[in-house]
Amino acid sequence: KQEVTQIPAALSVPEGENLVLNCSFTDSAIYNLQWFRQDPGKGLTSLLLIQSSQREQTSGRLNASLDKSSGRSTLYIAASQPGDSATYLCAVRANSKLTFGKGITLSVRP
Amino acid sequence: DTAVSQTPKYLVTQMGNDKSIKCEQNLGHDTMYWYKQDSKKFLKIMFSYNNKELIINETVPNRFSPKSPDKAHLNLHINSLELGDSAVYFCASSQQLGVADTQYFGPGTRLTVL
Tell me the pLDDT tens digit for each residue of A73-82: 999 999 999 9
Q: Do A97 and B103 touch (CB under 8 A)?
A: no
Q: What is the pLDDT of residue B51?
A: 82
Chain B contact for A76, CB < 8 A?
no
The minimal CB distance from A34 to the residues B44, B48, B103 is found for B103
Separation in Å, CA of A94 to nearest CA in chain B: 9
Residue type, B41: K
Question: Mean of the pLDDT values across residues B65-89?
Answer: 94
Q: What is the pLDDT of residue B2?
A: 67
CA-based nearest residue in chain A for residue B54: A96
Q: What is the pLDDT of residue B53?
A: 83
Q: What is the band of A12 on the pLDDT scale with cuts at 50, 70, 90?
A: very high
Question: Mean of the pLDDT values across residues A30-40?
Answer: 92
Q: Do B104 and A42 touch (CB under 8 A)?
A: no
Q: Do A87 and B106 touch (CB under 8 A)?
A: no
Q: What is the pLDDT of residue A97?
A: 81
Per residue in A45-81, pLDDT (tens digit) is 999 999 999 999 999 999 999 999 999 999 999 999 9
Q: In B, which residues are within 8 Å of A41 by CB distance? A: 108
Sequential DSSP letters for A47-102: EEEEETT-SEEEETTEEEEEETTTTEEEEEESS--GGG-EEEEEEEEETTEEEE--
Chain B contact for A5, CB < 8 A?
no
In chain A, % of residues over pLDDT 70: 100
How far apart (Å, rounded) are the C-alpha atoms in residues B84 and B68? 25
How far apart (Å, rounded) are the C-alpha atoms in residues A44 and B103? 9
Q: Do A36 and B50 touch (CB under 8 A)?
A: no
How far apart (Å, rounded) are the C-alpha atoms in residues A52 and A92? 10
In chain A, % of residues over pLDDT 90: 85
Q: In B, which residues are within 8 Å of A36 by CB distance? A: 105
Q: What is the pLDDT of residue B33?
A: 92
Sequential DSSP letters for B34-50: EEEE-TT--EEEEEEEE
Interface test with A, best of B2, B7, B56, B103 (most A CBs within 10 A): B103
Per residue in B17-76, pLDDT (tens digit) is 999 999 999 999 999 999 999 888 888 999 888 888 888 777 788 899 999 999 999 999
- Whether residue A104 is predicted with pLDDT greater than 90 in this model: the reply is yes
